Structure 1
Amino acid sequence: MRNAVRSLVAALLGVAMLCLAAPPEWLPQQQRKLVQIYGESAGLRYQAWRTLMSELNGQDQRQQLAEINRFFNQFRFLDDRVVWGEDNYWATPMEFIGAAMGDCEDFALAKFLSLRALGIPTSQLRLVYVKATSLNQFHMVVAYYPTPASEPLILDNLKGEILPASARRDLLPVYSFNGERLWLDGPGGGRELTNQPALDRWNRFNQRRQQGVMQRPLTARMDP
């Protein structure tokens, strides 16, 4: 964990002088908004993410998975009620980068959408709700399918290593979705659901994301 923090700090410092030296009008509009709401360090995190996305463009999918998982796993886990003052708030990736803290859904959504932006097809990715037995609570992870028939690999903020689903016996799948389709998982599962209202939270989240909504967190970020 300490090495991961050092890596993030080094990445931020690498772009710090460029970002701080640039006049405000030179910064991308999204980055300016992040700085206004979350502070200068949020602008550096955004630039580090953009730099990483550029470096990963066109690279092997396994490398993309590893680096995106590593980048977001450096952020701090905190409950929605503490960060946003709401129960089960789905932060957009920009809100998550801005606050640098959130709960399992925020980690999973940021990874899922970053991987989609890198060109990994929706058919190879799912957001999976699981029961985390170590925490005795519901949890969200990203599943990556190398092929439709493959055992998925799991990207998770609880464990930094990307492992096949069979190696994560601490996670009991409940249901999964990819923004287009919804499946019931678990014993006797794997059945596709046609209940469109079940995707309402995803649709509301996407609407906020597309509108560029950025909410200010209740908790001030604690830098490493």
Structure 2
Amino acid sequence: MLLLFASTLLLTQVDAESVRLSKADIEKLGNKYGAKAKRRLETWQNLLTELANESESNKLERVNDFFNQVRFIDDIKHWKKKDYWATPVEFLITNGGDCEDFSIAKYYTLKELGVPVEKMNLAYVKALEYNQAHMVLTYYPKPRATPLVLDNINGEILPASKRTDLLHVYSFNGDKLWLSKMGRRTTLVGTSDRLKPWVKLQSRIENNDINLR
């Protein structure tokens, strides 16, 4: 009985973080936010179906290319806030976001496609060419491998060792937080719930909370 309860709880938690949308969800959002927003959501959901049985490398390429078509817009201009982490649905409905939004959308989409969370990190870096903070998604083919970088500035997926324009600071995923260097996780420094924007984002995704103007 205890095992059955634990399995049910785990299933509930996984389902709560799903980014799958029903046809009714898409129809409702399309009626509210317009035909273009509806098409973007439909294309995204169709991509989830198309890639379900593809290799992880194909999933990375297709998901990276799909989201890199979205417009880059600073949070102040887009959300009238200094820092706002949008859900993938908000990102696509508004057809815009900043580096966090690109990385978050890729992370949750690849997670939905079965890529293990342990292989992915959201990584805070400094973009040296622009002299500013930036976020990318990193993917580890193997635990000790040099990760690949999925980025909206440079659309080509490259090993972190070849992205000398990025200075890695720290990285995190579902529940862990690391210091990082050259793209690699170096020191586990705690849990990702220390990052308040991440905690709020996860809660909004689980509750299907869409915060649009």
> Is the 2:176–2:191 contact (alpha carbons within 8 Å) kept by the matching residues of 1?
no
Task: State the partner residue of 1:7.
Answer: none
Q: For 1:174 and 1:28, how far apart are their aligned partners in 2?
A: 40
Q: For 1:196 and 1:139, how far apart are their aligned partners in 2?
A: 18
CA drift at 1:136 = 0.8
> Superposed, which structure 2 residues align to 1:141-220 within 5 Å?
141-186=136-181, 190-194=186-190, 197-217=193-213
After superposition, the Cα gap between the structure-2 partners of 1:116 and 1:197, relative to the gap in structure 1 and judged at 3 Å, is closer
Q: TM-score, normalised by structure 2?
A: 0.85
CA drift at 1:58 = 1.6
- The secondary structure found in structure 2 opposite 1:157 is coil
Letter of the aligned partner of 1:96 in structure 2? Answer: F
After superposition, the Cα gap between the structure-2 partners of 1:150 and 1:43, relative to the gap in structure 1 and judged at 3 Å, is same
Indicate whether 1:102 and 2:97 are aligned: yes
Return 5+ residue gaps in structure 1 as ranges.
1-26, 218-224
After superposition, the Cα gap between the structure-2 partners of 1:181 and 1:57, relative to the gap in structure 1 and judged at 3 Å, is same
Q: For 1:161 and 1:119, how far apart are their aligned partners in 2?
A: 22
Task: State the partner residue of 1:62.
Answer: 57
Matched positions, count: 191
Task: State the partner residue of 1:114.
Answer: 109
CA drift at 1:197 = 4.8
Q: For 2:207 and 2:43, how far apart are their aligned partners in 1?
A: 23
Letter of the aligned partner of 1:81 in structure 2? Answer: I
Q: TM-score, normalised by structure 1?
A: 0.81
- Residues 175-210 of structure 1: CA distance to partner in whole angstroms, max 9, x if unpaired? 000121000113897110126652332111111111
Return 5+ residue gaps in structure 2 as ranges.
1-21
- The secondary structure found in structure 2 opposite 1:120 is coil
> Is the 1:179–1:199 contact (alpha carbons within 8 Å) kept by the matching residues of 2?
no
> Over aligned residues, Cα RMSD in angstroms?
1.7
Letter of the aligned partner of 2:136 in structure 1? Answer: V
Task: State the partner residue of 2:41.
Answer: 46
Q: What is the aligned counterpart of 2:135 among 135, 140, 151?
A: 140
- Residues 101-139 of structure 1: CA distance to partner in whole angstroms, max 9, x if unpaired? 000000000000000000000110000000001111100
Letter of the aligned partner of 2:112 in structure 1? Answer: A
Indicate whether 1:31 and 2:37 are aligned: no
Letter of the aligned partner of 2:175 in structure 1? Answer: E
- Residues 48-105 of structure 1: CA distance to partner in whole angstroms, max 9, x if unpaired? 1111110100210000000000000000001011111111100000000101100000
- The secondary structure found in structure 2 opposite 1:185 is strand
- Residues 125-174 of structure 1: CA distance to partner in whole angstroms, max 9, x if unpaired? 00000000111110000000000011100000001100000110111001
Q: For 1:73 and 1:150, how far apart are their aligned partners in 2?
A: 25
Letter of the aligned partner of 1:202 in structure 2? Answer: W
